[in-house]
Amino acid sequence: MFHKEGYKILAITLGLFLIVNLLNLFLVETTWLKYSILFVSFVLFILVVQFFRNPKRHTNINDLSVVSPVDGKVVVIEEVEEKEYFKDKRLQVSVFMSPINVHVTRYPVNGEVTFSKYHPGKYLVAWHPKSSEENERTTVVVKNQNFGEILYRQIAGALAKRIVNYAKAGDQAIQGADSGFIKFGSRVDVFLPVGTQLNVELNQKVRGGETIIAQL
């Protein structure tokens, strides 16, 4: 199953793969070079295909928990000053996605979307400390009946050149449901109330829509 954001790119990639290898078949005479071109183009095609996969996730919907919005590895757990929306101290949990991770963004909690904003910006590597404030990004806030307002931020990286965000103010968020996509590697920051009990630790691998990162 593939994400809808990938259909156009997958079609273009397939077309290029076929054209390259048709030319390779008829124009390249050296056997080792012919097979090398076939192998390299096939590997690149598979990498693009796997990037846009959208596996079904089984979210145990629970208003007493916050699930990871994306697949990846936890790279930051710290108290920070959230400067855009809350303008106070929050507990930040950041998940880094490599190009081989699933890149679907999912709602971490149920509730009402109270804020959604896109920011153009730079393309620093996603683990750079300033990427959360200076890179291209989107900020979404969901108001949950138990946690209050939870903010998550999609952040572009050095390779990610397009963020897709479906969340709009006034929407009803369903925990684990598709809320966007980030193309070709990046990270997502989640901002929780200070004192929230965490269920993850640094360098832990998480699955979007399934891994509980915090609970009451």
- Residue (of 114, 91, 78, 116) closest to 202 by Cα position: 78
| Candidate list 68, 94, 131, 186, residue with the active-site label | 186
Q: What is the pLDDT of residue 44?
A: 87
The topology (CATH level 3) of 65-215 is: Glucose Permease (Domain IIA) (2.70.70)
Whether 152 has a pLDDT exceeding 80, the answer reads yes
Q: What is the pLDDT of residue 45?
A: 87
Whether 160 has a pLDDT exceeding 60, the answer reads no
CB atoms near residue 83 (< 10 Å): 10
Q: Is 187 helix (H, G, I), strand (E, B) or coil?
A: strand
pLDDT confidence bin for 10, thresholds 50/70/90: confident
- Going from N- to C-terminal start, the domains of the chain cover 4-51, 65-215
- Residue (of 97, 100, 62) closest to 212 by Cα position: 62
Of 95-109, 113-127, 202-216, which has the strongest mean pLDDT? 202-216
Q: What is the pLDDT of residue 139?
A: 96
- Residue (of 109, 101, 116, 82) closest to 185 by Cα position: 101
Which of these ranges, 1-10, 37-46, 49-58, 97-106, has the smallest mean pLDDT?
Answer: 1-10
Whether 214 has a pLDDT exceeding 60, the answer reads yes
What's the whole-number average pLDDT of the chain?
Answer: 88
Q: What separation in angstroms does the CA of 117 have from each of 15, 100, 166, 187, 204?
A: 35, 27, 11, 17, 29
Assess whether 186 carries a catalytic annotation: yes
Pairing mode, strands 205-206 and 65-67: unpaired
Sheet holding 212-215, edge to edge: 65-67, 212-215, 197-198
Mean pLDDT for the stretch of residues 68-83: 95
pLDDT confidence bin for 4, thresholds 50/70/90: confident
Residues with Cβ within 8 Å of residue 215, at least 6 apart in sequence: 62, 64, 65, 66, 197, 199
Q: How is residue 140 written in tokens?
A: 């979404």
Mean pLDDT for the stretch of residues 180-205: 91
Length of the chain: 216
Percent of all residues in the chain with a pLDDT value above 90, rounded to a whole number:
60
